[in-house]
């Protein structure tokens, strides 16, 4: 049996080392007038411009799914973006990767493998979502019908807020975290969102009193502790280090990854306050040779405060049981010792479906390329950790990324 | 027949028939004795297809719970408020369940690690929302 920590065959400086060379993003929020294909096209162009790559240089498009429409999903799957970007016959492959909220992390593994092996040279990864413009009840019902076992749990009336509440309740019980400490996680994220022009809540302040004063939607979660459904779009470009060398002063490479799929249905999770994070993190640290002390910031999935608190503990970024208090202490906020979710996260930049994890990944790449807005850019950062999870927190996915300055390719 | 009408035959049918009859059953592997929840087509422990059912004692521990007060899925509007929880049965397996409210309509008697027991409920013929219900252990039936 494998322990899940095989050697990564990518070498820093090798010509075929897969690297990120550009990102693009659209503003998150409610944009009913922005069409799905328009958003995908615009974000693709932004990422390609940023990467200094021409559309015709792209040989492979990888689509991140949307959750608002099966019709739009069909357009993604069946290569509409190849036509929209003028890549008919030029494109070698166009296909979708899907594991819910952890899709972007798994897409990085897939794409980097293609590039390293030579199956692809320049890959455009695209995502757009229209959750903010969609009907809320329809989306809640859709989520209840997808990702929750239809035979065993749908009849109970389980919702995704309830899945978040089940984890939060157990997390608070095991760690003794108070409602104030849980609310503080949301407040810490909002401070970052206030610095992010693409965040849904860039202009709104948030206090612990406001969070605890909002309606209880699903005990123990208040309305302002539930992620706001948003429209959004994000994209990134990956290529070989050799191909990137003449285009950019710096690129971002993958030092290692780790993952752990712990359950399908939330009721089958035996460790509701820790889930798969410790195992996934151990695999990533082992593969990279890094330890938590080697990373300078994190972008870790945060659809609910407990989700990112649990992940932070499993990653070893803070002490076990101290995740929520760590956020409450200000350590992760702007100016703190270990910045976390510098785009504002899903809870404050907006939950763009499968795009929530994508936005965190894109923010991590952007920070390592030193391309965030000056008030949000972390000075001189070279190493970061990305964490994602999908479905009912079925998995924990960890990517360890590092900046490579020009001359990295031989 | 549209896609939404296409219904797969399901292992849940036997489980739900038992629920409708007021009993909670657990799948048990006849080859290795492992109990499985939710039921599978092959035993996850030994991959045998020789699987049967046993009646659960119906007692266990509530690992966690949530009270849904707003934004329900379609069809659950009139259930509000309602509570769901993850129960670890004394047989060692887990399932999602609905929790009986206390007399005041709230769920104050529940906390993580509360002992709970299965409550048989009468079901109507053709009931499509069969789910296991639990109450605090020791409360009057």
All structural domains of chain A: 18-133+230-244 (3.40.47.10)
User: Residue B15: which residues within 8 A CB-CB, separation 6 or more?
Assistant: B25, B39
Q: How far apart are CA A233 and CA A356, in angstroms?
A: 10
Residue A221 clears pLDDT 50, i.e. is over it: yes
Domain with residue B67: its CATH number is 2.40.50.840
Helix (H) or strand (E) holding B30: none
Q: Which residue has the higher pLDDT, A149 or A362?
A: A362
* Contact indicator for B85, B65 with CB cutoff of 8 Å: yes
* SS3 of residue A253 by DSSP: strand
* SS3 of residue A181 by DSSP: helix
User: Residue A317: which residues within 8 A CB-CB, separation 6 or more?
Assistant: A292, A295, A298, A326, A338, A340, A385
The Cα of A150 is separated from the nearest Cα of chain B by a number of Å equal to: 10
* SS3 of residue A392 by DSSP: coil
Pairing type for strands A231-240 and A18-29 reads: antiparallel
User: Residue A55: which residues within 8 A CB-CB, separation 6 or more?
Assistant: A44, A45, A48, A85, A86, A87
Name the DSSP class of A325: H
Residue B66 belongs to a domain = yes
Q: Looking at chain B, which residue has its C-alpha nearest residue A154?
A: B129
Q: What is the mean pLDDT of chain A?
A: 95
Q: What is the mean pLDDT of residues A357-382?
A: 98
> Positive or negative, the Cα torsion across A298, A300, A303, A306?
negative
- A169 neighbourhood in chain B, CB within 8 Å: 64-66, 112
* Nearest residue to A195 via CA among A381, A373, A409: A373
* Nearest residue to A99 via CA among A315, A276, A218, A290: A276
Q: What is the mean pLDDT of residues B30-37?
A: 96
- B5 neighbourhood in chain A, CB within 8 Å: none
Q: Name the B residues in 19-48 with CB < 8 Å from any A CB.
A: 37-38
Q: What is the pLDDT of residue B125?
A: 54
Q: Which of B6, B10, B11, B72 to mutate to test the interface with A (most CBs of A within 10 A)?
A: B72
How many structural domains comprise chain B? 1
Q: How far apart are CA A39 and CA A235, in angstroms?
A: 11
What are the angstrom distances between the C-alpha of A212 and each of A126, A168, A206, B79, B80?
37, 15, 11, 25, 21
Secondary structure of A28-49 in the HEC alphabet?
Answer: EECCCCCCHHHHHHHHHHHHHH
Q: What is the pLDDT of residue A408?
A: 45
* pLDDT digits 0-9 by tens, A35-58: 999 999 999 999 999 999 999 999
* Nearest residue to A198 via CA among A3, A352, A92: A352
Instruction: Say yes or no for a CB contact (<8 Å) between A173 and B111.
Output: yes
Three-point CA angle A138, A144, A149, nearest 5°? 155
Tell whether A274 is within 8 A of chain B (Cβ).
no
Question: pLDDT grade, residue B127 (50/70/90)?
Answer: low
Q: How far apart are CA A194 and CA B93, in angstroms?
A: 45
Residue B112 belongs to a domain = yes
Q: How far apart are CA A236 and CA A4, in angstroms?
A: 27
Instruction: Say yes or no for a CB contact (<8 Å) between B64 and A166.
Output: yes
Residue A98: phi, psi to the nearest 5? -145, 120
> Token pair for residue B8?
């797969």
Q: Looking at chain B, which residue has its C-alpha nearest residue A226?
A: B71
Name the DSSP class of A234: E
* pLDDT digits 0-9 by tens, A96-126: 999 999 999 999 999 999 999 999 999 999 9
Which of A156, A161, A219 faces B71 most closely, judged by CB atoms? A161
| Strands of A225-319, DSSP E | 231-240, 250-261, 297-300
Helix (H) or strand (E) holding A356: helix A355-368
> Token pair for residue B138?
């020791």
Tell whether A146 is within 8 A of chain B (Cβ).
no
* pLDDT digits 0-9 by tens, A334-349: 999 999 999 999 999 9
Question: pLDDT grade, residue B86 (50/70/90)?
Answer: very high
Report the residue count for chain B: 141
Question: pLDDT grade, residue B4 (50/70/90)?
Answer: low
Helix (H) or strand (E) holding B64: strand B59-68
Q: How far apart are CA A49 and CA A45, in angstroms?
A: 6
Q: Percent of chain B beyond pLDDT 70?
A: 87
Residue B12 belongs to a domain = yes
Which runs of consecutive H residues, i.e. helices, occur in A268-333?
A: 277-288, 305-315, 323-328
A94-108 as b/e: b if 16+ CB within 10 A: beebebbbbbbbbbb
Q: What is the pLDDT of residue B74?
A: 87
Q: How far apart are CA A199 and CA B91, in angstroms?
A: 48
Pairing type for strands A60-63 and A123-130 reads: parallel
Q: What is the pLDDT of residue A409?
A: 43
Q: What is the pLDDT of residue B8?
A: 67
Q: Looking at chain B, which residue has its C-alpha nearest residue A264?
A: B38
> Token pair for residue A311?
């992940």
* Nearest residue to A284 via CA among A97, A6, A98, A18: A6
Owning domain of residue B100: 8-136
Q: Which residue has the tokens 């993580």?
A: B112
Residue B105 belongs to a domain = yes
* pLDDT digits 0-9 by tens, A180-218: 999 999 999 999 999 999 999 999 999 999 999 999 999
Tell whether B54 is within 8 A of chain A (Cβ).
no
Q: What is the pLDDT of residue A386?
A: 98
- A174 neighbourhood in chain B, CB within 8 Å: 112
Question: pLDDT grade, residue B2 (50/70/90)?
Answer: very low
* Nearest residue to A183 via CA among A66, A309, A85: A309
Measure CA of the first residue to CA of the last residue in chain A; give whole Å.
37
> Token pair for residue A315?
């990653």
Residue B3 belongs to a domain = no
Q: How far apart are CA A226 and CA A119, in angstroms?
A: 41
* pLDDT digits 0-9 by tens, A66-96: 999 999 999 999 999 999 999 999 999 999 9
B28-60 as b/e: b if 16+ CB within 10 A: bbeeeebbbbbbeeebeeeeeeebeeeebebeb
Residue B141 belongs to a domain = no
């Amino acid at each position: 049996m494998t322990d899940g920590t095989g050697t990564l065959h990518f070498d820093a400086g090798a010509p075929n080392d897969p690297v990120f060379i550009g990102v693009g993003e659209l503003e998150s929020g409610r944009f009913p007038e922005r069409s799905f294909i328009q958003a995908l096209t615009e974000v693709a162009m932004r990422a390609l411009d940023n990467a200094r790559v021409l559309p015709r240089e792209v040989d492979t498009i990888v689509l991140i799914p949307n959750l608002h429409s099966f019709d739009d999903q069909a357009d993604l799957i069946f290569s509409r973006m190849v036509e929209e970007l003028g890549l008919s016959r030029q494109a070698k492959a166009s296909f979708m990767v899907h594991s819910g909220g952890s899709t972007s992390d798994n897409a990085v593994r897939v794409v980097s493998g293609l590039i390293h092996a030579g199956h692809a040279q320049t890959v455009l990864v695209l995502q757009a979502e229209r959750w903010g413009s969609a009907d809320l009840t329809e989306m809640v019902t859709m989520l209840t019908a997808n990702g929750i076992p239809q035979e065993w749990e749908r009849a109970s009336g389980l919702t995704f807020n309830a899945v978040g509440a089940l984890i939060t309740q157990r997390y608070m019980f095991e760690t003794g975290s108070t409602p104030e400490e849980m609310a503080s996680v949301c407040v810490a994220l909002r401070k970052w969102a206030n610095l992010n022009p693409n965040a849904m809540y860039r202009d709104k302040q948030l206090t612990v009193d406001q969070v605890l004063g909002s309606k209880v939607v699903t005990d123990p979660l208040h309305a302002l502790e539930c992620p706001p459904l948003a429209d959004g779009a994000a994209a990134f470009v990956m290529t070989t280090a050799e191909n990137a060398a003449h285009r950019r002063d710096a690129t971002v490479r993958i030092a290692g990854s780790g993952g752990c799929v712990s359950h399908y249905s939330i009721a089958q999770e035996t460790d509701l306050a820790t889930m798969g994070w410790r195992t996934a993190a151990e695999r990533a640290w082992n593969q990279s040779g890094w330890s938590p002390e080697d990373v300078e910031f994190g972008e870790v999935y945060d659809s609910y405060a407990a989700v990112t608190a649990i992940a932070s503990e499993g990653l070893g970024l803070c002490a076990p049981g101290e995740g929520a208090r760590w956020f409450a202490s200000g350590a992760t906020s702007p100016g703190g010792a270990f910045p976390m979710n510098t785009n504002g996260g899903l809870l404050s930049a907006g939950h763009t479906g499968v795009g929530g994890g994508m936005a965190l990944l894109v923010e991590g790449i952007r920070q390592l390329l030193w391309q965030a807005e000056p008030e949000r850019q972390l000075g001189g950062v070279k190493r970061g950790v990305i964490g994602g999870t999908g479905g009912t927190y079925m998995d924990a996915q960890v990517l360890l990324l590092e900046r490579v300055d020009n001359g990295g390719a031989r | 027949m549209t896609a939404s009408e296409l219904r797969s035959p399901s292992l849940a049918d036997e489980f739900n028939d038992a629920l409708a009859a007021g009993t909670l059953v657990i799948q048990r592997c006849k080859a290795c004795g492992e109990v499985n929840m939710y039921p599978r087509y092959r035993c996850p422990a030994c991959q045998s297809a020789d699987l049967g059912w046993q009646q659960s004692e119906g007692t266990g521990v509530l690992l966690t719970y949530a009270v849904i007060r707003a934004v329900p899925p379609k069809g659950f509007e009139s259930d509000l408020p309602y509570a769901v929880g993850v129960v670890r049965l004394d047989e060692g397996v887990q399932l999602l369940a609905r929790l009986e409210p206390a007399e005041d309509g709230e769920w104050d008697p529940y906390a993580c690690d509360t002992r709970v027991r299965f409550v048989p409920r009468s079901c109507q013929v053709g009931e499509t929302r069969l789910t296991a219900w639990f109450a605090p252990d020791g409360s009057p039936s």
